[in-house]
Structure 1
Amino acid sequence: MVHAALGGTGAPPERVRDALLDVLGPRGTLVVPAFTPENSDTSRAHRELTAGLDARELAAFRAAMPPFEPDATPCPAMGALAECVRTTPGAVRSAHPQTSLAGLGPRARELMDGHDPHCHLGERSPLARLYAADAQILLLRVGFEVCSAFHLAEYRTVPRPPLRDYRCVVGGKGNWITYRDLALDDGDFAAIGARLPRALLRRGRWAGKQVVLLGMRAAVDHARDQMAGYRHGMA
């Protein structure tokens, strides 16, 4: 699973995609986040997009929001590599209207299928399948603040975090779904990553920025243990 920022490298996303697929080989599967926070009126992205609008303008903006379509809706907030992978012929995208993932390779359909639209990134999402498959995470010129695998750790903390309501537009303009799911919080992901044992990480540099490779299982397990402590007021 790759999170990447290609700005300033001069490398087109297609070249990076092909290099990653070459390294993975014919049995490997490349996965990227294909999140669409713009599709929800309960997201931080929506609040930023509509900042300063009055009530009438806000209602008009909401009414015009296009529905999520797995095969067509772009994921601009996820960067050029994610959009490149999503649009590559043969890629498979999961069905969640706000936090989908996209995969390219022999296990893509197996990993992406069955993403419950009421479960962002928990046990009924591709993240749980990636964990079970002993996937690796590649942070390509980005930090742990975007390491979405840590969200799976949130679902596995005890006691469980609180729930909140989410809304997304799906299946036709004006057709909204509302559901309750975990109140996801990525505000401490960078700090969690900084506390991971160094032995778990392989580090390098590319185009002036750090690259980190690590196993998803170890990362999620350590993140879960951290969250179960300080997030609930324990030492």
Structure 2
Amino acid sequence: MRLLIARCSVTYAGRLTATLPPAVRLVMVKADGCVAVHADGGAYKPLNWMNAPNTLTEEHGDDDVLRWRVENPQGETLEIAIEEIRYDWSEPLGEDPGLSKDGVEAHLQELLADHPDAVEDGLELVRREYPTDIGPVDLLCRASDGAAVAVEIKRRGELPAVEQLARYVERLERDPLLRPVRGVLVAQRIKPQARTLAEDRGLAWIEVDYDLLRGIDSGELRLF
């Protein structure tokens, strides 16, 4: 992890063009290549960012401005022009043990792993916590038509969950043994904005009733 507090301007070029004028900001560079530019506000969301995998190069121009150029395989670029460095700190954080899910979310995963057809008729489990290079997918399943289905399970479905699932699907699509891969977000409640974003990304979503799922041992499983 590297944290840089600096006066800088930022230019993104890719699906659109966006520019941040000079100001003092926090630039975060993670070991996996993710780069994020933060202001002193706006909660956790960065002003601009590039997800891994990326390449980052540094160069000094004739104007004595340090420039960081971040580029991903899709050709998107993020250029950070650093005029003044006020703080520069680096520290390896080591391997992260991963997120410990709360009881409800973990139990939902167990229930749906045992009964994936509650998500979609004919769905069969391949593996729980299927590994990718950016983290494990909650459930990897096969649909009745043979397609791979990545299922991400949350207690509440919000925008970050959609982005997370989209990244998993993109990674899984790189495996010729899995393609094509569909994604399904499963949660007790899914916010309208998350539903809209999921549909825009070509992902499905479903709300499940935890109490009904817990009654699975009593006999017939019903979602609605």
Greater helix share, structure number? 1
Q: Give the structure with higher Rg (CA).
A: 2
TM-score by length of 2: 0.25
TM-score by length of 1: 0.24
User: Which of 1 and 2 has higher RCO (CA within 8 Å, sep 6+)?
Assistant: 1
Greater strand share, structure number? 2
